Chains A and B, each alone.
Chain A
């Protein structure tokens, strides 16, 4: 079982989750509404499906919120 950090929380990803795209799908997120940082680097949407998660990876999934 692979563990990765998602938004700071150590998470066991399931057997069926291999790529960043799989994480987005599994969480039911709308791709257009989120932005992903993978190991401190911006991960463009077209790379989500080809980025395989490895043990110890760090993912930040963010969205826009109200702010001044």
Chain B
């Protein structure tokens, strides 16, 4: 049976979601997303600069991708709700990554405001993907509020430091009956692999791909790592032990006591 992630009313094959910030060109971004086979991409929304207009980011996302609005820039629930509504009016679907940050240095999410936004937007028919500090009990509140998934951070946004929150994320994976998607801070394919190996449903990566010397190759590397981690998780990873276990039989070696023949 094919291994698909059923989420937000869709069936997703690629467990690598890609953020569209920081790419040096739309063409490079399009090729990176395609190379990874990613099916979900995030975008943000900003006031238009009437003097200096950028290209239309949506034109750099391959057809068929689910585009999820990220409410980044929102400082409270009210702003996040406004952004989600505007994005929907602007033609995006009903997937929203709720990112509410009030801390300028570490961009740490405001869990309380995120919960409020999740409650409101779920009632308005959105599939909510709240970006939060990892915490089991808080995850349960989000579940109750109707979140489609929970997106705990691995490390501060853009820091490339990896899954620093591993133990807390592990508990969420074990206990919460909704997809856990690690978002933020993953800097290397091995970080992404680690998340999938331990049972996370997917990862969202942006900076590590976008600012790589070759974003297309790096996107592909991340997708392979994600697929490997997922396959290992599904197969069942063997337990670590503290003593040695020989990989080849220890009997019948030259000079060892034989059977006398």
Contacts and interface: CB of A to CB of B under 8 A. Distances in A.
Contacts of A8: 47
B31 interface: no
Contacts of A68: 19-21, 42, 44, 70, 72, 157-158, 183-184, 204, 206-207
Interface string B32-65: 0000000000111111101000101110000000
A67 B87 contact: no
B22 interface: yes
B23 interface: yes
A64 B56 contact: yes
Per DSSP, are chain B's interface residues mostly helix, strand or loop, or mixed? Answer: mixed
Nearest to B158: A68
Interface of B: 19-23, 29, 42-48, 50, 54, 56-58, 69-70, 72, 82, 85-87, 89-92, 157-158, 183-184, 204, 206-207
Interface of A: 7-8, 27, 29-30, 32-35, 37, 40, 42-44, 60-68
- In the A-B complex, list the 7 residue pairs whose CB atoms are closest, starting with the nearest: A67-B44, A68-B19, A68-B206, A35-B90, A66-B21, A66-B20, A7-B47
